[in-house]
Amino acid sequence: MRTERVVLHFPKHLADKPVIVNLVRKFDLDFNILKATITPDEEGVMVLEITGEEENFQKGIQYLKELEIKIQPLSQDVIWNETRCTHCLYCVSYCPTKALQRDEETYLVKFDPQKCIACGICVDICPYKAMEIRLVV
């Protein structure tokens, strides 16, 4: 089994077509939509968690690529700016997936982008603007 969180950029002509449903129908993959939006120039951006057998996973990703959907790992779009971070740890308990955690010895922030779902709570509340999500380019 493999689980990945990815950001999908849909080209304009796919914005009104059913695509993700085919991951279930054709490749037996589970999905969880974490975020979805259509930009003013009608391109789609979706943050998706995909789970399934490795072979199906690869086929599913191939299917999306053939549709000219750009795929990248979510972790690339979530940025923790360590020079802005003061390690106050204020963000830690607000983070719903424990992507932001406290190191119990040093009391420093530990950020695990793999656990992040890009909900954006930390972006809103961090007083020092140490968190950044670059989803919609």
Interacting residue with another protein among 94, 96, 98, 134 (CB under 8 A) = 94
Provide the 3-class DSSP secondary structure of residue 21: helix
Size of the site for another protein (CB under 8 A): 18
Q: Which residues contact 76 (CB under 8 A, 6 or more apart)?
A: 7
Q: Where are the beta strands (DSSP E) in 1-137?
A: 2-10, 30-38, 44-52, 70-73, 78-80, 100-102, 109-111, 131-133
Binding mask 43-82 for another protein (x = CB under 8 A): ----------------------------------------
Segment near another protein (CB under 8 A); pick from 3-11, 13-21, 32-40, 121-129: 121-129
Residue found under tokens 């037996």: 28
Interface with another protein (CB under 8 A) = 84, 86-90, 92-94, 102, 106-108, 124-125, 127-129
